[in-house]
Amino acid sequence: MESNAVVWFRKGLRIHDNPALDYACRGSSHIFPVFVLDPRYLHPDPSAFSLGSARAGLNRIRFLLDCLLDLDSSLRNLGSRLLVLKGHPEPASVICQILKDWNIQKLCYEFDTEPYGQARDRQVTDFASQHGIEVFSPVSHTLFDPAEVIKKNGGRPPLTYQSFVALAGKPPDPLAKTYSELPPVGNVGNVELLNIPTIEELGYKDIEQEEFSPFGGGESEALRRLKEVLKDKEWVANFEKPKGDPSAFWKPATTVLSPYLKFGCLSSRYFYHCLHNVYLTVGKHTSPPVSLVGQLLWREFFYTVAFGTPNFDQMRGNKICKQIPWKDDDKLLVAWREGRTGYPWIDAIMIQLKKWGWMHHLARHSVACFLTRGDLFIHWEKGRDVFERLLIDSDWAINNGNWLWLSCSAFFYQYHRIYSPISFGRKYDPDGKYIRHFLPVLKDMPNEYIYEPWTAPLSIQKKANCIIGKDYPRPVVVHDKASKECRKKMGEAYGKVGSVEEEDNVAASESTAMQKRKRRT
Ligand SMILES: Cc1cc2nc3c(=O)[nH]c(=O)nc-3n(C[C@H](O)[C@H](O)[C@H](O)COP(=O)(O)OP(=O)(O)OC[C@H]3O[C@@H](n4cnc5c(N)ncnc54)[C@H](O)[C@@H]3O)c2cc1C
């Protein structure tokens, strides 16, 4: 008797530590490894199937296509292949259709915690249960099951990292399973299969003019990159996030494994397990929150809070989010988005985002602070949207969580602590190498003016072939004045009375700030 299983790949684009794939193979005569091209992330008109969607930029779609090619190649090496389907009108109905057409008894896919994924998966599980199809949906994108952590915490997500870590415990080990062969693909009948499209086939034009992300997608690349990282055991053991240099770009100060974790080309459990092994070998090592394991726990923390917080991705109706009367100013927003604020440190980061889709964590801090509570007082949701589209590691829980954090809307409340768009970058990169790379218009500006080019005398600007106000913008706001104004507005929004100077005296630790808040309420 035939027993057919579908493995539905969405994230989790890997063979290693993949419980959904493992379960699908058990006792099945055929497996159908499926990926559905989701119009939500493609062009608004799904029939056109061209890209440039509001939700996913070019670099991330290229990264995804790399992942699919790599997954297909790995599956083919095991006697299978990836079946790519057009997700029209939307992926859930396409899956329901093939469950019928292919006479499927078992549907396996990784559990998705995002609201969009949950709604999509509900449609499919409802259909499957009506038709007697078994659904296996393990939690394997994260180290822990967010629902379990929330349950342990009495039904509410833990709202501090420390309380999360105390509750979470030790994650399960990754599956040790390796394959020499997979069950063959069954008969696909008349179902239209697509080739994995190229970026050009998806409608991008003039792409040769862009500088692309240097990070290629796929499980093979993820594992190669992880191996490289693990080679330097001392580096792994001594990793301290706050000490990294955000301006290092050819050799970034962190692992750049985030896009691989985002698409699940790398299992977070496998990553954790490897780090643990290094710690065992080396002995002395750093600890959370600053260690590499600590970084993975930040990821878990945001996943858990996001899963347990209604309206996590917006200010309205979000119980953990401070209600702040952000300003609407499209001109300033566009200047920020396009890297034209006149502050080279900020603009270089935004251009790196556009060109590479990845920036160091502290670089993200700088531009997120600048857009929101630091200088422009623009809503964090607007910045979140820009990051969501352009980051190759764009991740619903982590992106929203960090924007809530940086805008002092949740988790972190020391709004008086503002990143200077001038001195913060200079501390790491006094010669402005990072700025010169991403903003070549400033490449000949002398070191002393590279962070504040508007202060350069006209003769110097002429010599550097960069006239401020013509070749490169003047600052859109005066930082000292704008940041004072922002602090004042934040103080008002937090329900405090008092001058800016008084706010400056707020104690420096997060816990003290939180205690003060508690006392006030
Ligand atoms: C405003 C803002 C938006 C962000 N948006 C995203 C996003 O969409 N996707 C994303 O993966 N990260 C996001 N981050 C978090 C962080 O900047 C990136 O995870 C990190 O820079 C990725 O580089 P890495 O892989 O070299 O990190 P490493 O330092 O090598 O850390 C290893 C892994 O730990 C996780 N991690 C590290 N820092 C954090 C953090 N602060 N929060 C949650 N997980 C973390 C990531 O999965 C990362 O790959 C954002 C940060 C800010 C300030």
Range(s) of the chain covered by CATH 1.10.579.10: 330-520
Q: Which two tokens stand for residue 405?
A: 């954090």
- How many angstroms from the chain centroid is the CA of residue 305? 16
Distance 114 CA to ligand 1 centre (A): 17
Is the dihedral angle over the CA atoms 405, 420, 436, 228 positive or is it negative? negative
DSSP 261-292: HHTTSS-HHHHHHHHHHHHHHH-----TTTSH
Fold designation for 4-139:
Rossmann fold (3.40.50)
CB 8 within 8 A of CB 34: yes
β-pairing verdict for 30-37 and 4-9: parallel
Give the position of tokens 């002395």. Answer: 284
**Given pLDDT bands bounded at 50, 70 and 90, which one contains residue 494?**
very high
Nearest CA to ligand 1 atom 40: 298
Is the dihedral angle over the CA atoms 506, 507, 508, 514 positive or is it negative? negative
Give dist(CA 157, CA 148) in Å, integer.
10
Distance 340 CA to ligand 1 centre (A): 25
Residue 364 in contact with ligand 1 by CB distance below 6 A: yes
Q: Counting atoms of ligand 1 from 1, which one is nearest the CA of 258? A: 49
Distance 280 CA to ligand 1 centre (A): 25
> What is the length of the chain?
521
Write out pLDDT tens, residues 28-84.
999 999 999 998 876 544 444 333 466 788 899 999 999 999 999 999 999 999 999
Question: What confidence score (pLDDT) does residue 47 get?
Answer: 43
Q: Which CATH architecture has domain 142-173+220-308?
A: Alpha Horseshoe (1.25)
Does residue 518 carry a pLDDT above 80? no
Q: Counting atoms of ligand 1 from 1, which one is nearest the CA of 364? A: 53
Nearest CA to ligand 1 atom 41: 298
Residue 256 in contact with ligand 1 by CB distance below 6 A: yes
**Given pLDDT bands bounded at 50, 70 and 90, which one contains residue 498?**
very low
Residue 253 in contact with ligand 1 by CB distance below 6 A: no
Residue in 124, 135, 132 with CA at minimum distance from that of residue 24:
135
Which strand (E) or helix (H) includes residue 42?
Answer: none
Pocket perturbation via mutation, ligand 1, pick of 235, 361, 367 by most ligand atoms within 8 A of CB: 361
Does residue 341 carry a pLDDT above 50? yes
Distance 361 CA to ligand 1 centre (A): 6
Residue 248 in contact with ligand 1 by CB distance below 6 A: no
Distance 353 CA to ligand 1 centre (A): 14
CA distances from 114 to 190, 237, 297, 311 (A): 32, 32, 18, 11
Range(s) of the chain covered by CATH 1.25.40.80: 142-173+220-308
Residue 434 in contact with ligand 1 by CB distance below 6 A: no
Helix axes 91-101, 115-130, angle to 10 degrees: 20
Residue 399 in contact with ligand 1 by CB distance below 6 A: yes
Write out pLDDT tens, residues 411-444.
999 999 999 999 999 999 999 999 999 999 999 9
Distance 13 CA to ligand 1 centre (A): 19
Does residue 505 carry a pLDDT above 90? no
Distance 167 CA to ligand 1 centre (A): 22
Distance 503 CA to ligand 1 centre (A): 30
Distance 104 CA to ligand 1 centre (A): 38
**Given pLDDT bands bounded at 50, 70 and 90, which one contains residue 393?**
very high
For residue 239, count other CB atoms closer than 10 A to its CB: 23
CB 18 within 8 A of CB 33: no
Phi, psi of 31 (to 5 degrees): -125, 150
Alpha helices in 309-429 (DSSP H): 330-337, 344-356, 361-369, 380-390, 396-406, 423-428
Nearest CA to ligand 1 atom 36: 295
Residue 60 in contact with ligand 1 by CB distance below 6 A: no
Residue 257 in contact with ligand 1 by CB distance below 6 A: yes
If you ran DSSP here, which 8-state letter would residue 124 be given?
H
CB 74 within 8 A of CB 135: no
At residue 174, the 3 state secondary structure works out as coil
Does residue 515 carry a pLDDT above 50? no
For residue 283, count other CB atoms closer than 10 A to its CB: 7
Nearest CA to ligand 1 atom 5: 399
At residue 335, the 3 state secondary structure works out as helix
Pocket perturbation via mutation, ligand 1, pick of 161, 258, 265, 296 by most ligand atoms within 8 A of CB: 258
Phi, psi of 84 (to 5 degrees): -95, 130
Give dist(CA 160, CA 171) in Å, integer.
19
Q: Is the preceding omega at residue 183 within 30 degrees of 0, hence cis?
A: no
Q: Which CATH architecture has domain 330-520?
A: Orthogonal Bundle (1.10)
Does residue 339 carry a pLDDT above 90? yes
Question: What confidence score (pLDDT) does residue 51 get?
Answer: 39
Question: What confidence score (pLDDT) does residue 53 get?
Answer: 62
Question: What confidence score (pLDDT) does residue 212 get?
Answer: 78
Q: Which two tokens stand for residue 453?
A: 């080019």
Give dist(CA 485, CA 495) in Å, integer.
16
Phi, psi of 157 (to 5 degrees): -70, 140
Mean pLDDT confidence for 472-481:
98
CB 182 within 8 A of CB 15: no
Phi, psi of 445 (to 5 degrees): -75, 130
Question: CB-based contacts of 420: which residues, under 8 Å, 6+ apart?
Answer: 479
Does residue 407 carry a pLDDT above 80? yes
**Given pLDDT bands bounded at 50, 70 and 90, which one contains residue 509?**
very low
Amino acid making up residue 348: A
Which strand (E) or helix (H) includes residue 35?
Answer: strand 30-37
CB 34 within 8 A of CB 7: yes
Q: Which two tokens stand for residue 480?
A: 């000292």
Q: Counting atoms of ligand 1 from 1, which one is nearest the CA of 259? A: 11
CB 396 within 8 A of CB 313: yes
Distance 261 CA to ligand 1 centre (A): 10
* Partners of 6 in the β-ladder: 32, 107
Helix axes 380-390, 330-337, angle to 10 degrees: 30
Does residue 497 carry a pLDDT above 70? no
Question: What confidence score (pLDDT) does residue 205 get?
Answer: 62
On average, the pLDDT of the chain sits at: 92
Mean pLDDT confidence for 286-298:
98
Question: What confidence score (pLDDT) does residue 207 get?
Answer: 57
**Given pLDDT bands bounded at 50, 70 and 90, which one contains residue 208?**
low
SS3 annotation, 51-116: CCCCCCCHHHHHHHHHHHHHHHHHHHHCCCCCEEEECCCCHHHHHHHHHHHCCCCEEECCCCCCHH
Pocket perturbation via mutation, ligand 1, pick of 240, 249, 292, 295 by most ligand atoms within 8 A of CB: 295
Q: Is the preceding omega at residue 172 within 30 degrees of 0, hence cis?
A: no
Nearest CA to ligand 1 atom 38: 295
Write out pLDDT tens, residues 373-384.
999 999 999 999
Distance 362 CA to ligand 1 centre (A): 10
ipTM of the complex: 0.99
